[in-house]
């Protein structure tokens, strides 16, 4: 999430047979299971197959090949049926294989891996192996591949594959798919990692939707379930899906307290993540209280200069800032930055994150020149080490634009904020909290430049999205409503300004 100060708180083609109106009528009026049992219908001198029967014959032909590629193809097809029907990438499987190869996994996880992945887990990922299996499915038109090598599967094929599974097989394939997604989630934070996790969201949505309890359907497997849930929470949090991330993390904390105790490192790590989720959801006081508990426990168990302790102290300083405790935030962040430079070095991502927050604290304390110089330094290093489009770099560029505005360099502020909004929209989407935060501030920059109509229209758009995604009572929504009232007032629409201020 951005540490903004102006901000209130911070397809593939369809198969030809599917156009037959009679077949679609049959799909609506008859049981799909019954369609599976239909072999053929005599029509003159030819057999006219129902669409499900045609696909069933294709499946049988693949099965009769008795080859590893055929087995892999059928296994992949089943897994595809529990993912979104579009945008399926080979990277899901290669990332899962990489994790298997480089990180020790439980017996449960190993026993619930598809053979396609498990067979490759002791060697470098073999792209050709997966593509041979995919080519088998392509040859029978059961799947399609676009110019970017992303796989799609027609929605009715998607349904057919699942429908032919018995209850036991369905559970097995669902569990395999869930496990592959979980293992594919990288725990590193390069630009490519953020983009990959973003691409997982629709697949995760579809997969979890098959169980009322979502991933916690697997609750009796203990730590594996909790680790998968934590990974899914990361995906949702980065996608701006605050409530999903919060609900998952709350369940993980609850389970880990029960099984490991409150001071276990894994429990404290989950509590740290939960506090961040509370902050993102606008629950400032809960975030503050929980972070204080984590800091206290980590100081006792790890020591004050341990990176995990420093990370929690960093989060606590942010919570102090959100609660209006400016001096406490400033003093604590200075300590974290000093310790981070000594133990990790100035260019370490954690140190840079603390320097980013320290610049915000300087600004809040009225030390604007210090804030500007420090933010320029952070932007410079982050561009060099992470690249301009990394979320952390964009967050610092966002705050640098605010510092320029505070220093009276309004044209610089406007141009830089426009750049941040442009990249955020392209990489995260318009409705992501980081994008909305930068749009919020761009509206302020427009207002400062006298472009009041642009400011008004942009603020109306931000308020509309915030109300729908976060609710009317979230601090970010309320802050944008307040700015909207100011925009209406500047535009001479005083009645609208009054209504906006009342939350109308």
Instruction: State mean pLDDT over 29-53.
Output: 47
> What's residue 130's pLDDT?
83
43 forms beta bridges with: 46
> Residues 60, 61, 65, CA angle at the centre, nearest 5°?
110
Examine the pLDDT at 492 and tell me if it is beyond 90. Answer: no
- Do residues 294 and 263 lie in contact, with contact meaning Cβ atoms separated by under 8 Å? no
- In sequence order, which ranges of 48-190 are alpha helices (DSSP H)? 51-63, 68-80, 91-102, 107-111, 115-118, 127-139, 155-163, 167-184
Please give the DSSP secondary-structure letter assigned to residue 17. Answer: G
48-82 pLDDT, tens digit each = 356 778 888 899 999 988 788 999 999 999 999 99
Residue 241 backbone zone (phi > 0: left; psi -120 to 50: alpha; other: beta): beta
- Do residues 6 and 410 lie in contact, with contact meaning Cβ atoms separated by under 8 Å? no
C-alpha to C-alpha distances, 497 to 314, 328, 387, 473, nearest whole angstrom? 38, 35, 41, 18
**Burial group, residue 102, by CB count within 10 angstroms (0-12, 13-18, 19+):** exposed
Hey, what are 503's tokens? 């939350």
The average confidence (pLDDT) of the chain is 87
> What's residue 68's pLDDT?
87
325-347 pLDDT, tens digit each = 999 999 999 999 999 999 999 99
Instruction: State mean pLDDT over 4-12.
Output: 37
Examine the pLDDT at 35 and tell me if it is beyond 50. Answer: no
**Could you tell me which residue, 222 or 383, shows the higher pLDDT?**
383
> What's residue 67's pLDDT?
85
139-152 pLDDT, tens digit each = 999 999 999 999 99
- In sequence order, which ranges of 407-501 are alpha helices (DSSP H)? 410-428, 433-448, 452-469, 475-490, 494-501
Residue 270 backbone zone (phi > 0: left; psi -120 to 50: alpha; other: beta): alpha
Instruction: State mean pLDDT over 455-460.
Output: 95
Hey, what are 34's tokens? 């019954």
**Could you tell me which residue, 27 or 384, shows the higher pLDDT?**
384
DSSP, residue by residue, 58-81: HHHHHHTT-SHHHHHHHHHHHHHT
Using pLDDT thresholds of 50, 70 and 90, give the confidence band for residue 8.
very low
pTM: 0.83
């Amino acid at each position: 999430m951005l540490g903004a100060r102006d901000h209130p708180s911070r397809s593939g083609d369809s198969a030809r047979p599917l156009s037959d109106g009679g077949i679609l009528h049959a799909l609506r009026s008859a049981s799909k299971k019954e369609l599976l049992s239909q072999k053929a219908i005599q029509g003159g001198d030819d057999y006219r197959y129902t669409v499900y029967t045609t696909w069933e014959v294709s499946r049988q032909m693949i099965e009769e090949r008795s080859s590893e590629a055929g087995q892999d193809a059928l296994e992949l097809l089943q897994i595809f049926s529990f993912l979104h029907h579009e945008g399926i990438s080979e990277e899901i499987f290669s990332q899962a294989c990489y994790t298997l190869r480089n990180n020790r996994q439980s017996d449960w996880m190993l026993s619930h891996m598809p053979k396609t992945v498990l067979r490759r887990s002791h060697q470098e990922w073999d792209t050709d192996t997966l593509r041979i299996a995919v080519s088998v499915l392509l040859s029978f038109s059961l799947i399609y591949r676009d110019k970017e090598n992303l796989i799609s599967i027609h929605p009715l094929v998607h349904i057919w594959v699942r429908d032919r599974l018995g209850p036991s097989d369905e559970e097995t394939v669902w569990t395999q798919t869930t496990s592959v997604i979980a293992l594919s989630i990288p725990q590193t934070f390069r630009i490519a990692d953020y983009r990959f996790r973003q691409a997982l969201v629709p697949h995760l949505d579809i997969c979890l939707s098959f169980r009322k309890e979502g991933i916690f359907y697997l609750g009796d497997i203990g730590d594996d379930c909790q680790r998968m849930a934590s990974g899914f929470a990361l995906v949702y949090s980065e996608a701006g899906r605050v409530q999903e991330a919060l609900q998952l993390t709350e369940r993980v904390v609850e389970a880990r307290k029960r099984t490991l105790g409150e001071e276990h490192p894994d429990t404290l790590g989950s509590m740290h993540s939960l506090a961040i989720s509370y902050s993102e959801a606008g629950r400032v006081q809960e975030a503050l209280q929980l972070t204080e508990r984590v800091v206290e426990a980590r100081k006792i168990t790890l020591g004050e200069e341990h990176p995990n302790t420093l990370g929690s102290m960093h989060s606590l300083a942010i919570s102090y800032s959100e609660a209006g405790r400016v001096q406490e935030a400033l003093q604590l962040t200075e300590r974290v930055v000093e310790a981070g430079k000594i133990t990790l070095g100035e260019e370490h991502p954690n140190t840079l994150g603390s320097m980013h927050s320290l610049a915000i604290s300087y600004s809040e304390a009225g030390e604007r020149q210090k804030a500007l110089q420090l933010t320029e330094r952070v932007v410079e290093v982050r561009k060099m080490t992470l690249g301009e489009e990394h979320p952390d770099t964009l967050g610092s560029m966002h705050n640098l634009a605010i510092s320029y505005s505070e220093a009276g360099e309004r044209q610089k502020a406007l141009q830089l904020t426009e750049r941040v909004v442009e990249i955020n929209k392209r990489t995260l989407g318009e409705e992501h909290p980081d994008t909305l935060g930068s749009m919020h501030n761009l509206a302020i920059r427009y207002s400062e430049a006298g472009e009041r109509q642009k400011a008004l229209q942009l603020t109306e758009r931000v308020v509309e999205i915030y109300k729908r995604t976060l609710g009317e009572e979230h601090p970010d929504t309320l802050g944008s409503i307040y700015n909207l009232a100011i925009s209406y007032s500047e535009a001479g629409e005083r009645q609208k300004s009054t209504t906006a201020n009342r939350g109308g």
